[in-house]
Amino acid sequence: MQTPSRPANRLIATLTKPSAEPSANESTKHNVTRHAIQAAQTSPNLAGKNRQRLLAKLGASALSLAVVLSIGSARSYANEQAQTEAQTQAQQNTATYILEKPTKPGGGDLNPGVYTHPKSIADFQDMKVGLSVHWGPSSIGGKEISWSRGKEIPQAEYDAYYKQFNPTQFDAQAWMDLMHEGGMKYIMLTSKHHDGFALWDSKHSDYDIANTPFKRNIVAELVDAAKQNDIVFGTYFSIIDWYHPDYQPYDHGGPGELYPTDSTTPNFERYRMFMKQQLHELIVDYGAKIIQLDGEWDPTWNHDLGSHLYAYLRLLDPTVIVNNRTDVGREYLDPNTNMWDWQRYAGDFDERERMVDWIQKESHVFGKSVNPWQAWVTIDQAQWSYNKTPRLLSSDEVIIDLAKTIGDGGNYLINLGPKPDGSFDATQADIIRTLGKWIKANSEGVYGTRAGPYVNEGVYTSTQKGDSTFVFVLSAQDGMVDITTDADATSKSIQSVIDSEGNKLGFDKTDTGIRITLNDVPSAGNPVVMLKLD
């Protein structure tokens, strides 16, 4: 290989994989090298050996990295734009490597050998239940966050809500208390939605919480409370920013007034730098461990940009996990299975959203997968953020929904939209508490489990932990349920059936599995009855 010249602040990585066949796609080879260079170049405060260590962690055992570094001292974000020209030149100085097909989720085909952090994703799957929160100044209007801007609510009125936003009833500990009562282990806050408003004091924007009457840093307070309450802090962050003048296409009212413009506006590359600056704050300064991106469906975004963003986020924190909306794989689902092509598209877990006001088949949300996934469901069937007249799921519907989700191996992320004052609607909070009581009674079959072997849609589903199987009965006829198993093998190995209170139940073996009588089960009146099979 001819060694390229090494101007200051240039990183050139040689990625090798001798056992694989060379890729014939030169464009892909160029892009892979570009992602490695750009992601490292634009990661601030990572100098010398620290950067090398991070690159090594990213690749784990799958990548062999020969890294030639001339980084010098750490750069601040203030001079990152000045590096753009140097980065562009670095793109042309591609290193040599051999590309192999990904064997598990992570960076996709443009970040070969960069895979999901194994402990982080296992911990994520073990937590099973989380709280999503859609909130911001838009709650004052009571219409959908971001989407109502320039539509139901005139842009000027919407954009002025931040001047009134003063959620004096916001109490981070009260949020944590509700999460504990609801059996939730992690929180996903809309730190920034499509409308561009930041719920933290961002060094890179005046359109943020510090510029409201409230002034208190909501993200910082939630991060501190989460640490004290053993809750994992994650954040929703929109790739889209309809308020920012450098983002295109302009939509939902176009740019707001708080950002300066010049003769080069709009400048999407400058916006991308701004976006990465804000994500850097959330990951490095606030320690977000799960990144829930959104907006990849916008025509501005593509596979190349998404792959680079994934690599950049993993450089900031190799242990962070990122949903598959960093990339555009959701637009190219397998038509037969509705599954994401993780071998091509970047992401650590599949995000399956149940859209409000959509009539869609349950298979769009449910369905087992070989990879981690999350069902993202809102308790209000009309919208995600605060709604004065919500159409709520009942507590029974939420419990059934959760059981079906975990039976298919997914996490369950249930959304609430706080009121403008920062408190939760009492009725919605009670639904969450009822869910939590059910989870507490059946926690052994919820936390730390994976998809189980037994499912009969609408009748029962199951989870698995070690040698134990947990069957969740959704409906029973005449107080009995027939569980179809591998009759000649599995059913013979079942030695006991135990309910959630530890009572042993009698069961009969049938030609297709086992039959369990539920009449004497104390929890038989619950919407879902859990039985442990050993």
pLDDT 10s digits, 64-99: 232 222 222 223 333 444 454 444 444 444 433 344
Residues making up the chain, counted from first to last: 534
Cα 214 to chain center, whole Å? 28
How much helix, strand and coil, in percent to the nearest 5, is found in the chain?
Answer: 35, 20, 50
Query: For a pLDDT cut of 90, what percent of the chain falls above it?
Result: 65
pLDDT 10s digits, 304-314: 999 999 999 99
- Within 363-487, strands assigned E span 373-378, 411-416, 450-451, 460-465, 468-473, 480-484
Residue type, 505: L
SS3 442: coil
Other Cβ atoms within 10 Å of 148 Cβ, number: 19
Average pLDDT, rounded, for the chain: 82
**What average pLDDT score do residues 129-141 get?**
98
Q: Which of 379, 372, 427 is nearest to 399 (CA)?
A: 379
pLDDT 10s digits, 31-63: 444 455 455 545 544 444 454 444 444 443 233
Angle at 37 between CA 33 and CA 39, to 5 degrees: 115
User: What is the chain's alpha carbon radius of gyration, rounded to the nearest angstrom?
Assistant: 25
Q: Which of 62, 65, 42 is nearest to 53 (CA)?
A: 65
Q: Which of 531, 528, 533 is nearest to 438 (CA)?
A: 528
Helix (H) or strand (E) holding 51: helix 48-59
Tell me the two tokens of residue 448.
């730390």
**What average pLDDT score do residues 236-264 get?**
96
Query: For a pLDDT cut of 70, what percent of the chain falls above it?
Result: 77
Q: Which of the pair, 492 or 67, is modelled with greater confidence? A: 492
Q: Which of 207, 204, 273 is nearest to 242 (CA)?
A: 207
Question: How much is the pTM?
Answer: 0.83
pLDDT category at 150 given cuts 50, 70, 90 is: very high
Structure-token match 């920013």, residue found: 241
Cα 404 to chain center, whole Å? 19
